[in-house]
Amino acid sequence: MQGHAPSVKVGRPVPDIICSLNTDEEFIRDNIKRNVKLGIQQVEPHETQDKVVALVLGGPSLKETFEDLKEKKRNGMPVITVNGSYEYCLKNGVTPSAMVMLDAREFNNRFVDLKVDTCKYFISSQCHPSVFEKLKDNYVWIWHVAGDENTDLLDEAYDGKYFPIMGGSTVSLRAIHLFRLLGFKRFEIYGWDSCIFEDHHAYDQQENDGEEEMDVIVAGKQFRCTAAHYHQAKEFVDMIAKTGQSYEMIVHGDGLISHIIKNPDSLRKKEEVN
């Protein structure tokens, strides 16, 4: 993969909100203060291995590609889920090997209402403490976000011995770097669309209902996106440019991310297109 962005046109200006947090910074900081005192094992670097793992995200194409995922799982491929894709997999016959969470908001603790004894849970220190409480009898590791303003808390709690996870603003982007740290470099990714196909997710996620939408044209193909989708796609291009040589990925489906991968030959962006 090359770290180049295809030409992009946007139907209207992208709202500034795409660069903001969905949670107050002090709320996140308070979560971290509480969570680092729990004594939960941190993620640590592992030797690189050649195993292929499935990373399952929540985009609408997951419904169309799910049978392929199930077949890969039956043939032994470990399945890593995030947020609502965890429950979706469980309810549709795929037991995840791992689950990742990033979002700090308390209502997201619903993502771990169903628990699996054999699943490994990788929960960000930003997450609400109620998530860790729900998982207190399960296999849980804590990980930390690189690039925020809370390194003083981590330095104090861990005496500088921690491994912050780089990436963008979404759990999808961070999960790749998290599992790269854990030694995985080969990913088959499902449900990573960063666009809308009738619905914004493969399952109900009411907090995303009613978000403003825009038309995005990439290398001659039009996609319907929210501001968050568009921002994630831009962050994906930036991520690949910086770290893409460190891992391999196949992105299933016909979403925006897959289309960007297939059209990596232009650096022009919307403001450069007349």
Task: Please check whether residue 1 lies inside any domain of the structure.
Answer: no
Task: Please check whether residue 3 lies inside any domain of the structure.
Answer: no
Task: Please check whether residue 2 lies inside any domain of the structure.
Answer: no
- Which domain range does residue 234 map to? 8-272
Q: What is the pLDDT along the chain (274 residues), one digit of tens a residue?
A: 433 333 333 333 333 333 345 678 999 999 999 999 999 999 999 999 999 999 999 999 999 999 999 999 999 999 999 999 999 999 999 999 999 999 999 999 999 999 999 999 999 999 999 999 999 999 999 999 998 889 999 999 999 999 999 998 999 999 999 999 999 999 999 999 999 887 756 756 666 545 677 888 888 888 888 888 888 998 999 999 999 999 999 999 999 999 999 887 532 334 333 3
- pLDDT score recorded for residue 219: 81
User: Which amino acid is it at 86?
Assistant: Y
Task: Please check whether residue 134 lies inside any domain of the structure.
Answer: yes
Task: Please check whether residue 49 lies inside any domain of the structure.
Answer: yes
- pLDDT score recorded for residue 222: 86
- pLDDT score recorded for residue 267: 29
Question: Which pTM was predicted?
Answer: 0.87
- pLDDT score recorded for residue 215: 84
Task: Please check whether residue 260 lies inside any domain of the structure.
Answer: yes
The domain tally of the chain equals 1
Are the beta carbons of 116 and 90 closer than 8 angstroms? yes
